[in-house]
Structure 1
Amino acid sequence: MDDLKNWFESHSFLLSITKYLVWIALILIIITFARKFIKKQLPDNSLRYKSQKGIEIIGYFLAILITITYFTGSIKDLGLAIGLLTAGITITLQELILSIAGSFYIFFVRVYKPGDRIEINGIKGDVIDIDSVYTTMMEIGQWVSSDNYSGRIVKLSNAFVFKGPVYNYSQDFPFVWDEFNLPIRYGSNIELAKEIVISVAQDYLSEYVKKSISDWKSVVDKYYIEDAQVDPTLAITITDNWIQFNLRYIVDYKKRRHTNHLLNEEIGKRILQTNGKVILASATFEIVKIPTVKFEEDKTKENKT
């Protein structure tokens, strides 16, 4: 018994570390089981995700609190311990600290949330997860055109919210303005061409206009911004080669490419139905006249030879 007692006394630090690791492991186990329980019980994806993140944050806070109190010996030394700990690791773990701070900033300020389409640090995509260090995105663009998924999942440090602009396509106002140019050949029936473009725009974009009116009003009320026109607008520009129609319209940020396709397809069909009254222009060149070249043979040189 004396030998056993002496062994425990000589290995008190080892036992202390073991007890600390047991407490940390117990907290991690409780977090894991709580997350699984909530995942099964809550049917709503948004509520389930937020609850899981809340449990994770609480668990991390308890682990930090136990670490500080365990090695300082008293909760009274919490402020001093935090100060010393922060001073010691700030230089070596700057990016990690900034990432953790960024996660709190994203959560409380609501910079973006899972499901939003954002562009940050030159990367564009849909946010599919936010943890204490990284934001996970499904990438859009790169080698594929328009707003299609590339198939790559990108993990981006939360610290980037402090280092540059964050473009959010869906927060407050889930619509974007888009436009395309339509070249009309000189000599075409311009009024008929205008009627076709405006009619197609009204047929295909009326639903987006109705939905965006109330959302845009909320944006105007919330921010210092002037009111904007959400109805489709057509601008005409005369160029050296053709008359250019510019159609500007509002559309759901997830349906920009598909809507652009529908508008171009329907406008093209209706222009063909005009039987030549409206003709699309192109950048081909037309040779009007080939100049005549006169060639006279010098016969004097032939006689000398």
Structure 2
Amino acid sequence: MNDLEQIRQWIATHSLLWNIFKFISLAVIILVLIKFSRKQLKKNIPDTALRYKSQKGIEILGYILLITLSVVYFTGSIKDFTLLLGLVTAGMAFTLQELILSIAGSLYIFLVKVYKPGDRIEINGIKGDVIDVDSIYTTMMEIGQWVSSDNYSGRIVKLSNAFVFKGPIYNYSQDFPFIWDELNLPIRYGSDIEQAKSIIIKIAIDILSDYTSKSKAQWKEVVNKFYIEDAQVDPTLAITLNDNWIQFNLRYIVDFKKRRFTKHLLHDTIRNAIKQTNGSVQLASSTLELIKIPKLEIDVKGKNST
């Protein structure tokens, strides 16, 4: 009877030692995986902030896993390590969700052809020309901000590719590398309106003829590809009457990179043409007309000192 009891004690003791050995082995494996993951993240993530967050996330996740393993391993509540592995995988997916979304975004960009280097886009409120797309980031040369119109600001912006899943993307050049623009001209009442219309339309047709002819062929392809109605790409003029002047609104199509220069050329050419009309067509400006000046009387009475 004593021999049987000794055998049982020996088995129980060695079983405990075996469990301790397995626990230490698993803990070492987890620590090695944490260290290996941190090194890989350091190599493959160029952005300092994202790299730091990812490394800290892996480290915290590893410690949580070690604590959980310590609590439940000897209680027998987790018999199958595959369940623990599933929890680790889910934790890593949650911790590295930004990185995973960025990689998925890069695949989406290349497969769906959302944009490519050379396109002008606006994403997450930032507008610029795409100069590079890698597995994590989209790099853009920024336009706008503190400079007017579509000029480069000089800043290079890196955006996570995850943003393609988080909001709209405006592409100025994909499929149809032209945009519609407009300018407004105030013409004084009493001007020769028909002459003014003729001047503006003629100048617009002459300056924009190249853009108009090229855009017509490409617009047909857009209409055939998408469910969209046919649009007018020739310059159009609309007139609005207001309290101060007759407003001429010229709408036209232009290359997406030539918007600012084209508007300058139209304004300058139209100004010179109106100047040559010798006053029959005049540009208007805001004026203030005084209808009546009130009469002002000052009565000054002197007093003699005594």
The normalised TM-score by structure 1 is 0.69
How far, CA to CA, are the matches of 2:234 and 2:167 in structure 1?
32
Counterpart position of 2:178: 175
> Which amino acid letter does the alignment assign opposite residue 231 of structure 1?
D
Q: Which is worse superposed, 94-103 or 283-292?
A: 283-292
How far, CA to CA, are the matches of 1:166 and 1:160 in structure 2?
9
Counterpart position of 2:122: 119
> Which amino acid letter does the alignment assign opposite residue 256 of structure 2?
Y
Pair 1:245 & 2:248 matched: yes
Q: Cα RMSD (Å) of the superposition? A: 2.8
- Which one of the candidate residues 256, 281, 284 is aligned to 1:281? 284
Pair 1:197 & 2:206 matched: no
Q: Match of 2:290, SS?
A: coil
> Which amino acid letter does the alignment assign opposite residue 281 of structure 1?
A
> Which amino acid letter does the alignment assign opposite residue 262 of structure 1?
L
Give me the identity figure in percent.
Answer: 73
1:149-188 aligned within 5 A:
149-188=152-191
Counterpart position of 2:15: none
Counterpart position of 1:5: none
Q: Write the deviation string for residues 226-265 of structure 1: whole angstroms up to 9, x where unpaired.
A: 1100000000000000000000000000000000000000
Distance 1:258 1:85, change over 3 A: farther
> Which amino acid letter does the alignment assign opposite residue 133 of structure 2?
I
Residue 293 of structure 1: how far off its partner (Å):
4.0
> Which amino acid letter does the alignment assign opposite residue 123 of structure 1?
I
1:37-52 aligned within 5 A:
none
Counterpart position of 1:290: 293
The normalised TM-score by structure 2 is 0.69
- Which one of the candidate residues 259, 263, 272 is aligned to 1:269? 272
Unaligned runs of 5+ in 2: 1-27, 44-82
Counterpart position of 1:100: 103
- Which one of the candidate residues 219, 224, 231 is aligned to 1:221? 224
How far, CA to CA, are the matches of 2:287 and 2:133 in structure 1?
52
Q: Which structure has the larger Rg over C-alpha atoms?
A: 2
Residue 294 of structure 1: how far off its partner (Å):
5.3
- Which one of the candidate residues 112, 132, 137 is aligned to 2:135? 132
Q: Match of 2:153, SS?
A: strand
Residue 298 of structure 1: how far off its partner (Å):
10
Q: Match of 1:213, SS?
A: helix
How far, CA to CA, are the matches of 1:161 and 1:111 in structure 2?
9
> Which amino acid letter does the alignment assign opposite residue 151 of structure 1?
G
> Which amino acid letter does the alignment assign opposite residue 176 of structure 2?
F
Residue 290 of structure 1: how far off its partner (Å):
2.2
Residue 122 of structure 1: how far off its partner (Å):
0.2
How far, CA to CA, are the matches of 1:157 and 1:268 in structure 2?
46
Residue 190 of structure 1: how far off its partner (Å):
0.6
Q: Write the deviation string for residues 35-74 of structure 1: whole angstroms up to 9, x where unpaired.
A: xxxxxxxxxxxxxxxxxxxxxxxxxxxxxxxxxxxxxxxx
How far, CA to CA, are the matches of 1:158 and 1:83 in structure 2?
27
> Which amino acid letter does the alignment assign opposite residue 234 of structure 1?
L
How far, CA to CA, are the matches of 1:285 and 1:90 in structure 2?
67
Residue 148 of structure 1: how far off its partner (Å):
0.4
Counterpart position of 2:112: 109
Residue 84 of structure 1: how far off its partner (Å):
7.0
How far, CA to CA, are the matches of 2:200 and 2:244 in structure 1?
20
Distance 1:104 1:177, change over 3 A: same
Q: Write the deviation string for residues 273-305 of structure 1: whole angstroms up to 9, x where unpaired.
A: 11111111111323344233456x599xx8xxx
Q: Match of 1:124, SS?
A: strand
> Which amino acid letter does the alignment assign opposite residue 149 of structure 1?
Y
How far, CA to CA, are the matches of 2:86 and 2:102 in structure 1?
19
> Which amino acid letter does the alignment assign opposite residue 183 of structure 2?
F
In the alignment of these two chains, the number of paired residues is: 230
Q: Match of 1:135, SS?
A: strand
Residue 83 of structure 1: how far off its partner (Å):
6.6
Q: Match of 1:218, SS?
A: helix
How far, CA to CA, are the matches of 1:113 and 1:152 in structure 2?
19
